[in-house]
Structure 1
Amino acid sequence: MNSFSVADGTVKKITSAPGILVVNFTDWKEQDWIITFENLIAFQSLGAEGEEISEIIESEKILLENIRIEDIGNTTKSYSFISVWSSSPILIIIARAYKVEKTQPTFMRA
């Protein structure tokens, strides 16, 4: 099984739909991953697409100010993607959980 590491990886694309946020991510080995955040409450991107990431910090403390307390359950967490260059959060996600899937290469047939 291949392990997922965000260190020195790049956020390629962010897509949202009601209750879900999908982050397309390429790791330092050029392997593509899909990170799906479920039971999404809110997110804030500060130019995250195209940025290199050093780590994801998971916290019980909610980092966005405009969240209504009644929208947050006991299992909701804050996930912060930290920039390699600034050591600051460039993508903050408030959600219940996330899952990571390795994408399969697409081969073109002649």
Structure 2
Amino acid sequence: MDVFTIQDWIFRLISLVLLCVEVWAFVNAVRYRPDAYIAASKRTKGFWAALTGIALFLGVLSILGSSMFILTIAAIVIAGVFLADVLPALRAVMARAQGRYR
């Protein structure tokens, strides 16, 4: 086993972990109601579903062996922005709508 084979397997393992994060972001993007996005002032559901869907597609490409590292980075940044900024806002809006205040 040479160094490049080990490096390839490490990259694929990291890509798999990142793909899981991108799947999590996409599932959450399509799970919430469209009016929750408007109430949270976070663009629209279609915008975030499309963006996280593109991130998911780029993540699948990285698993299949695409060597475009910049696309892998772009995909995880999109998913990270959704999970760190949009998702907490959506959860807060839905908690207020259900009568649970945080």
TM-score range, shorter chain: under 0.3
User: Structure 1 length normalisation: TM-score?
Assistant: 0.23
Compare the two structures and name the one with the higher helix fraction. 2
Compare the two structures and name the one with the higher strand fraction. 1
Specify the structure having the higher radius of gyration (Cα). 2
Bigger RCO (CA 8 Å, 6+ sep): 2
User: Structure 2 length normalisation: TM-score?
Assistant: 0.24
